[in-house]
Amino acid sequence: MAENIFDFGMIGLGVMGRNFLLNMADHGFSVIGFDKDAAKNSALEGAATPGTTVKGVSELAEMISLLKRPRNVMMLVPAGQPVDDVIASLLPLLEKGDVIIDGGNSHYTDTLRRVKYLREKEIHFMGIGVSGGEEGARRGPSIMPGGDLLAYENVRPMLEAVAAKVDGTPCVAYLGKEGAGHYVKMVHNGIEYAIMQLISESYAILKAAGLSNQKIQDTFKTWNEGKLKSFLVEITADIFLQKDDKTDAYLVDVISDKAGSKGTGKWTSQDSMELPVAVPVIDTAVAMRTLSGYKDERVQAAALYTQAAAADLPEQELIDLVYDALYFATILSYAQGLAMLFQASKDLQMDIPLPEVVSVWRGGCIIRSSLLPVFVEAYKQNPELSNILLNQEVAALVKSAEGKTRELIAYAVKAGIPSAGLMSALGYFDAYKSERMPTNLIQAQRDYFGAHTYQRIDIPGTFHTEWGQQ
């Protein structure tokens, strides 16, 4: 085979890597993949659409030798040391001007380090977030590139071709300098954690009221036809249809309630505190997954503490309350994540364009929803909007659901149904819209026991009081 005939190379031919390459090949690009597992190379070639140019190899040097210059090489390998190991193996094979792309869920600080390291070697490096799962990678994901702008322009036609399309617009855009692509994907995943937690709490409330799986399925299906239309609501409806192949039960009822995670939600929570930006719904979602792992203790506690009885509400009235509360809290989840991106863009000097971020999220990704076009319009009106809750159109949506949200949370609290995510959303909202918070007392306490000083509302400057001297 002649040298230099392939447009794009992929390292790691798991399902995501394979599907991404097949997607690219379907759009007319010649692609080559590397994996040490020969079976994965065969699976790549076997799944290719007839007439496309797709090859799998088991030697990295062979793949590099077959790529057109400048070479475009993407990794889809586990975050952490494996990424550094791949880079180390690539460097002897690459030339100045070649492009390395990390398409995994790396922490942005690792991406910053790699950008700097490879820049010194005159190799372009990009961190890009890819959302949409296996099907998205094959049919059109949401792609969040950041880092080297020259590298982005080099691969832009390929990324635009494979990305999901909304109204003909590709769901990909350059999202900022250095580690911005992975930072945006991290926050995307934090929002994903939050919304999944909110949906699970909504399910718990409906289940506690005695609704059958079929009724809950009908409810989520109906919700997905209205203002709650989103990928996560859509798949939730599908989940309630699935029967277990080992019993006669619905599958959801035999799945353990210990939830797993891969760390990106935790990173969002941790990094928000570094800025600092308040993201309590995301924090709560992370904490609830951790708490779900305390299964043995929860079983003991359930026997020790009496469960309150839920109030008797007409079924449709309860469904309407949950509908509005989920809508309200979902908006708050986006608001917190986007506020984090706004602050990170400035403090970390990544120049993240929020209008492009929400536009990219409209299709292909896990958190796509009918709310995103609303946010696009909000940022069109003010690209420097620090929090979408300050936009009048968004505020109208929030206010329309506020009353029923309060009713639903009161109902859940009285019934003892875990609803920490919904409560966190309302707590954030109440604090955010408070012209004056009671934290003046906290400042007084801090100055009392630690001489941490305080500021006044009537006189400029910093003050300290010798408390208790009257």
Annotated catalytic residues are: 185, 192
Query: Which residues have CB under 8 Å from 405's CB, separation 6+?
Result: 324, 325, 328, 329, 422, 425, 426
Q: Which stretch of DSSP H or E encloses residue 11?
A: strand 8-11
Q: Do residues 130 and 105 touch, judged by C-beta distance below 8 A?
A: no
Structure letter (DSSP) for residue 402:
H
355 prior amide bond cis, ω within 30 = no
Q: Do residues 228 and 221 touch, judged by C-beta distance below 8 A?
A: no
276 prior amide bond cis, ω within 30 = yes
Query: Which residues have CB under 8 Å from 224's CB, separation 6+?
Result: 230, 233, 234, 237
How are beta strands 124-131 and 142-147 bridged, if at all?
A: antiparallel
CA distances from 448 to 279, 438, 468 (A): 29, 16, 9
Nearest to 337 by CA among 307, 375, 299: 375
Query: Which residues have CB under 8 Å from 84's CB, separation 6+?
Result: 114
Residue 148 backbone phi and psi in degrees, to 5: -70, 115
Nearest to 114 by CA among 128, 104, 103, 124: 124
Q: Would residue 263 be called left, alpha or beta, if left means φ above 0 and alpha means ψ between -120 and 50 degrees?
A: left
Q: Do residues 393 and 371 touch, judged by C-beta distance below 8 A?
A: no
Nearest to 329 by CA among 198, 224, 432: 198
Query: Which residues have CB under 8 Å from 136's CB, separation 6+?
Result: 130, 142, 164, 364, 365
